[in-house]
Chain A
Amino acid sequence: MIRHYDAGTMIPLEKIIVLNKVSLFSTLKTEDIHIISTIASEEVYDDGHTLFYEGDIGDRLFIIVDGEVMILKKNKDGTEKHLAILKENDFLGELSLFDAETRTATARCHGLCTFLVIERNDMEQLAHEYPAIAFGFIKMLISRMRSMVLNNKT
């Protein structure tokens, strides 16, 4: 459990510790992670809160600091089908940082959840100021997509 100051706020070092554990940022240098930590805000949600619905326009990346998130998809009859549970250090919506596409599934908190959230506008600003970070991030995204394609093939 991450130590909370002032009613659940994380100190900058704690944000860096969390971001460093997330595979999306793990290849970045600590200096870059530090910079990203400055645009990552802490958000806490109660059990049952829906982070986003399938079909919403996505513009935020959620990194799970604590708690679990259910990923759900609508069936043809309108009922929700449970797809997966995401846990600590998992993340949701990485593509929304660079592209305003619609969400492909619904994400709902399962118990009290703490997140680090990065907004697309902030990320774009950061990428403009620090192209090296954007480059490292894109490399990581490509590598993830490549492994996803390979997994699908096999």
Chain B
Amino acid sequence: MRARILGLLSIKPNEWEGVLYFFLVLLVFSFGASFARSIAMTLLIGEWGGDKLPIMYILIDLAAIMGFLRYAHYTNKFNGLSIFKFLLLSTALFSIIAQILFLLTTYWWIQQKWVYGFFFVGFSFFFILISIHAGSVVASYFTAFQVKRVTSIVNAGIPIGGILGGSSLLFLLRFFHIPPQYLVGVFSCACFGAFLLLRVVNIHLSPVREMQSRGTYLNPLKELISAFKYILSSRLMIFMSLGLILFVITQKMLEYQYQTVIYFNIYKNDDERIAFFATYEIFANLILLLFQLFLTSRIVMKMGVGASNMLYPILTTIMALTLFIYFYSKMQGLISDSGMIMMLSLGIITQFVNQEMRWALRTPTNNLLFNAISPNLWGSNKAFINGIVFPLSTFLAGGLIIVITGANSSMIGLTLNLSEEQIYYLLPLIAVIVSFFGIIVALPQWAAYNKEMLESLNKKVFERRLNKISGKPSNNLKQMIQQKLNSTEPEHLTVVLEVIRVLRLNDFVNQVGNLLLNTQNFQIKKHCINTLAALPQSQSNLAYLVEALHTEKEATVLPLILKDIAQFKSVNLNEDIEKLLTHPSALVFVEASLCLHAHPRYQRKHLIEKKILKCLQKLPNKALYLYALGELRQPHYSNIVLPFFKNEKSEIRVAAFTAFIRMLENQLEPHKPRLIEALNSRDKEIKLESLKALKKCKPLNDWTPIIRLLKERDRSLVTESKELLRLSLNLCNLTLIEYLFSNKISVQQRFEILSLVYPKLNDKQCQRLREEGNNALKQFVQMNGLLKLHESLEQTNKVNDLITKILQEIIEEHLLHVLTIITFASEQNLEFFQRVSVGLLSLNRANQGNALEVLSNAREKYLTDRVIRYFEERVNNLKATRRIHLVLFEEYLKIDKKRYYPLLFALEHDMLRACLLYLEQEKIGSFKLNNANKNVRELLQTAKPDTRNIKFFV
């Protein structure tokens, strides 16, 4: 039964408790609020007069603005639930005070009518604050994805509470004849009841997205200014604010139309109008309730938050357009509606769209947009939207209606003098235009929501928004650089030199040059030289380098200066540099030699070559002289470096290979086999050099060695390999696609290959890729089942934790395969993949929920829906895994205790296999390594005596 109800309401079993508690909180509060609302309105109008209403509304707006100022402040100081409890207790206290005042007014202070105004304003103020805040608190207890589904069910507590409260009030008034002023205490009790329910919430539930203290507190005004700044920097908030303004204007226009134009013309008598409203309220609220319970969440789930925010403006546009056509046609005499049936129908539908659909569609979908905003900012942003934008919009809408209709125009001294018929069609026409703009605004709002939702994932890494700095320094930056260049702190100087270097700020050449000549710190000198080298070549930077060459004594600095000077080919400093050939430092000798050898006017180049060759043969610093030999770029020396390829020292191997490539820069084609062989080198630098060299050769016949490098952990290797493949994509396309569907492909390889070939895949291949994704998902679920079984066995052996970790990594790998395919099928990028992966693999429920929300907006639906379905179930035992496996793949998951070891052995994972053999060895006393491969053996056997890294100290 419960399962059926949950299914009907689209709630997952794990959400039931949260939904129930918050539903009850809103129901109880709404029950009391309906008492208070009716009593406040009745007593105000009955005892103090309806003419006080406008001033009351102004007071409510003012109170709300002030209240939201404080609210914004406290949302940064206390958590959401505490504020909710405080608001409820304050409201309960306020109601008790109001009750006492009502009793005093009834018996002693009969003339004190302000008490009724005080209650009306106070109740409205608390009601607004609680209604806005309750939404944030409910949202903080569910993930961004769950809240789409549960919010309308939780909110159904409001109309149900309202209906129950209204009926109870009627019953008490009619049958017990209790004066209304005695019943204010009911509201106080309801607030206290809701407060107690929140205490239960506090005990049983914990928030998923905490609205927590930021640690720094601003004054209320600064809070709003900060919210305003945030809104200006957030596209989503700008569109939300614009959307709110357009919504309020449309809503007021349509409301005026059906209230003042339609109903007033049809029902001239007050009693008839009241009877009509009563009937309308009953049916409209019933439909609203059913809509909220069964349709809202389904619509949002199906369409997504961004798209469902377009529905309300579309509906209002349609209604406004229909009203315009009706009234315009009627004025032109094109239609006759003598019985006014058509007009009444239009009025009812418009009111339903305007009023009921607002609660059923606009408010819940609009609140869901806050998913993309950090919970810490909800308070101040909601305060800004409701405390500033909303009153401003009301003022705008009111002013517009006054100008058009001429009603109360003396107040603003502006009227258009339109006839009644003109007003009848002009108001809906304006509503059409404004609500159409509402649709337009909802489009970029949709895109902004998706973008900011994606950014909300892994916020810690990506939250800093760096200002772009243009090539020309702004005055502030210039001042900062000037100031830092005078600093005595080496760290400051290093940073500022880096800024000048990266931005190539030539204005600072003199300061950098002077710093080079005056500093004693090697790091600063190094940064100064690098900075001068990066700046455009000029007489100024050359002058500083030459002076530094003459004055510098440090053997570590001179090579850097020489390297820079070598770039200035037009200047002849050869005589000075020649003196450095006798410098005791090998590095200075090498750089001086290279500098001279590269100079077009230097005559004794052959002597330099001889000297370097001699050094290579006789001196120990082989890597340095190999580098020097390579930089000479003479192909005839290539055979000299070949013997060093197999040197035991990595730096010598790398230097020899690099030198080889430099020497044969334009004649590498005959050496291609050697380059391909180098791709298997132990040294990353050799692989990189080889890849770069292969780019200069003709396309390869076999692309496998390059494709294999796509799974390297080093990013530069992957990038270079990809570049090489991209250059000959037409030739290697088929090999890449073949690799794409092989079993042993890693996630990274698949991702990189897809980034190259996805646009070239045909429909059949795309379909096959999706099947691969589904298989990976199946394995992901199955491995999760195996992990759950492993955990349930609660083994105490030494390898238990390691096996758990290995299984988790295998699970992760399968999920990443699925997400890779979803990423490309949805035409998304690496950022999407990374953020969604990190979110889904996170243990934090809020992150996981945000990732699911982002994923739900992905274009690929088949795999996405299945992944979401799995995560939504929050599978935490083998039984649940079996269930979801059956649901997703219509197959029974054959994982149980008997199959535990065979299943683990079946996984082709060396470390896992070693763990299992280790366990076996503990039981039988020896290792059974007959079927183990080399990697497994290495894990289980001690290193050979001559190489083992074991010392024994006793």
How distant is the Cα of A17 from the Cα of B939 in the complex, in angstroms?
Answer: 11
How distant is the Cα of A132 from the Cα of B914 in the complex, in angstroms?
Answer: 25
Give the interface SS of chain A, mostly helix, strand, loop or mixed: mixed
Out of A29, A41, A45, A131, name the residue touching B949 (CB < 8 Å): A41
Binary contact readout B922-954 vs A (1 if CB under 8 angstroms, 0 otherwise): 100000000000000011111100001111111
Whether B951 contacts A43 by the Cβ 8 Å rule is yes
Whether B911 contacts A130 by the Cβ 8 Å rule is no
19 other A-B residue contacts (CB within 8 Å) besides A11-B939, A45-B953: A8-B952, A9-B942, A12-B938, A12-B940, A13-B914, A13-B915, A16-B802, A17-B801, A17-B802, A20-B801, A20-B805, A30-B802, A34-B911, A34-B939, A41-B950, A42-B951, A43-B952, A44-B952, A130-B713
Binary contact readout A113-133 vs B (1 if CB under 8 angstroms, 0 otherwise): 000000000000000011110
Q: Looking across the interface, which residue of chain B has its beta carbon closest to that of A6?
A: B942
Q: For the side of the interface on B, what is the size category?
A: 20 to 34
Closest chain A CB from B610 CB (angstroms) = 35
B370 interface residue (CB < 8 Å to A): no
A49 interface residue (CB < 8 Å to B): yes
Closest 7 CB pairs of A and B: A41-B949, A13-B939, A9-B950, A12-B939, A5-B942, A42-B950, A46-B954
How distant is the Cα of A30 from the Cα of B912 in the complex, in angstroms?
Answer: 10
Q: Which of A38-59 contact B (CB under 8 A)?
A: 39, 41-46, 49
Q: Looking across the interface, which residue of chain A has its beta carbon closest to that of B798?
A: A17
B261 interface residue (CB < 8 Å to A): no
Q: Which residues of A contact B557 (CB under 8 A)?
A: none
Q: Known contacts A13-B914, A13-B918: does B806 contact A30 (CB below 8 Å)?
A: yes
How distant is the Cα of A72 from the Cα of B918 in the complex, in angstroms?
Answer: 38
How distant is the Cα of A11 from the Cα of B950 in the complex, in angstroms?
Answer: 10
A150 interface residue (CB < 8 Å to B): no
For this complex, 17 residue pairs linking A to B, each with C-beta atoms less than 8 Å apart, are A6-B942, A9-B950, A12-B940, A13-B911, A13-B914, A13-B915, A13-B939, A17-B802, A20-B801, A20-B805, A21-B801, A30-B802, A30-B911, A39-B949, A44-B952, A46-B953, A130-B713
Q: Which of A1-25 contact B (CB under 8 A)?
A: 2-3, 5-14, 16-17, 20-21
Q: Which residues of A contact B713 (CB under 8 A)?
A: 130, 132
B809 interface residue (CB < 8 Å to A): yes
Whether A45 contacts B954 by the Cβ 8 Å rule is yes
Which A residues are within 8 Å of any B CB, using their own CB? 2-3, 5-14, 16-17, 20-21, 29-30, 34, 39, 41-46, 49, 129-132
Whether B799 contacts A129 by the Cβ 8 Å rule is no
Q: Which residues of A contact B809 (CB under 8 A)?
A: 29-30
Closest chain A CB from B623 CB (angstroms) = 16
How distant is the Cα of A46 from the Cα of B915 in the complex, in angstroms?
Answer: 30
Q: Looking across the interface, which residue of chain A has its beta carbon closest to that of B952?
A: A44
Q: Known contacts A20-B802, A34-B911: does B954 contact A41 (CB below 8 Å)?
A: no
Closest chain B CB from A112 CB (angstroms) = 8
How distant is the Cα of A129 from the Cα of B654 in the complex, in angstroms?
Answer: 14
Q: Which residues of A contact B914 (CB under 8 A)?
A: 13
Q: Looking across the interface, which residue of chain B has its beta carbon closest to that of A39?
A: B949
Q: Which residues of B contact A9 (CB under 8 A)?
A: 942, 948, 950
Q: Looking across the interface, which residue of chain B has its beta carbon closest to that of A112?
A: B954
Q: Known contacts A20-B801, A30-B802, A30-B809: does B950 contact A13 (CB below 8 Å)?
A: no
Whether A11 contacts B940 by the Cβ 8 Å rule is yes
Whether A11 contacts B942 by the Cβ 8 Å rule is yes
Q: Which residues of A contact B911 (CB under 8 A)?
A: 13, 16, 30, 34
B12 interface residue (CB < 8 Å to A): no
How distant is the Cα of A39 from the Cα of B802 in the complex, in angstroms?
Answer: 19
Q: Which residues of A contact B298 (CB under 8 A)?
A: none
Whether A129 contacts B953 by the Cβ 8 Å rule is no
B684 interface residue (CB < 8 Å to A): yes
Q: Which of B265-300 contact A (CB under 8 A)?
A: none
Whether A17 contacts B799 by the Cβ 8 Å rule is yes
Closest chain B CB from A103 CB (angstroms) = 19
Q: Which residues of B contact A11 (CB under 8 A)?
A: 939-942
Q: Which of B779-813 contact A (CB under 8 A)?
A: 798-799, 801-802, 805-806, 809
Whether A44 contacts B953 by the Cβ 8 Å rule is yes
Closest chain A CB from B837 CB (angstroms) = 14
Whether B684 contacts A129 by the Cβ 8 Å rule is yes
Q: Which residues of B contact A129 (CB under 8 A)?
A: 684
Q: Which residues of B contact A20 (CB under 8 A)?
A: 801-802, 805
Whether A13 contacts B940 by the Cβ 8 Å rule is yes
How distant is the Cα of A5 from the Cα of B948 in the complex, in angstroms?
Answer: 12
Of A13, A29, A39, A129, which is in contact with the most chain B CB atoms at under 10 Å from its CB? Answer: A13
Q: Looking across the interface, which residue of chain B has its beta carbon closest to that of A18?
A: B798
Q: Which residues of B contact A16 (CB under 8 A)?
A: 802, 911, 939
Closest chain A CB from B946 CB (angstroms) = 13
Closest chain B CB from A10 CB (angstroms) = 8
Q: Which residues of B contact A42 (CB under 8 A)?
A: 949-951
Q: Which residues of B contact A14 (CB under 8 A)?
A: 798
Q: Which residues of A contact B942 (CB under 8 A)?
A: 5-6, 9-11
How distant is the Cα of A14 from the Cα of B941 in the complex, in angstroms?
Answer: 10
Whether B953 contacts A43 by the Cβ 8 Å rule is yes
Closest chain B CB from A1 CB (angstroms) = 10
Q: Looking across the interface, which residue of chain A has its beta carbon closest to that of B910?
A: A34
Q: Which residues of A contact B948 (CB under 8 A)?
A: 9
Q: Which residues of B contact A29 (CB under 8 A)?
A: 809
How distant is the Cα of A36 from the Cα of B802 in the complex, in angstroms?
Answer: 15
How distant is the Cα of A132 from the Cα of B718 in the complex, in angstroms?
Answer: 14
Out of B915, B938, B952, name the residue touching A7 (CB < 8 Å): B952
Q: Looking across the interface, which residue of chain A has its beta carbon closest to that of B927?
A: A11
Closest chain B CB from A62 CB (angstroms) = 12
Closest chain B CB from A120 CB (angstroms) = 16
Q: Which of B575-628 contact A (CB under 8 A)?
A: none
Binary contact readout B697-733 vs A (1 if CB under 8 angstroms, 0 otherwise): 0000000000000000110000000000000000000
How distant is the Cα of A46 from the Cα of B952 in the complex, in angstroms?
Answer: 10
How distant is the Cα of A13 from the Cα of B954 in the complex, in angstroms?
Answer: 24
Q: Which residues of A contact B943 (CB under 8 A)?
A: 12
Q: Looking across the interface, which residue of chain B has its beta carbon closest to that of A42?
A: B950
Out of A7, A8, A30, A45, name the residue touching B805 (CB < 8 Å): A30
Q: Looking across the interface, which residue of chain A has its beta carbon closest to that of B912?
A: A30
Q: Which residues of B contact A131 (CB under 8 A)?
A: 714
Q: Looking across the interface, which residue of chain B has its beta carbon closest to that of A133?
A: B713
How distant is the Cα of A34 from the Cα of B684 in the complex, in angstroms?
Answer: 19
Q: Which residues of B contact A49 (CB under 8 A)?
A: 953
How distant is the Cα of A10 from the Cα of B802 in the complex, in angstroms?
Answer: 16
Closest chain B CB from A37 CB (angstroms) = 9
How distant is the Cα of A136 from the Cα of B713 in the complex, in angstroms?
Answer: 14
Q: Which residues of A contact B949 (CB under 8 A)?
A: 39, 41-42
How distant is the Cα of A34 from the Cα of B809 in the complex, in angstroms?
Answer: 14
Q: Looking across the interface, which residue of chain A has its beta carbon closest to that of B806?
A: A30
Closest chain A CB from B799 CB (angstroms) = 6
Closest chain A CB from B178 CB (angstroms) = 54
Closest chain B CB from A125 CB (angstroms) = 10
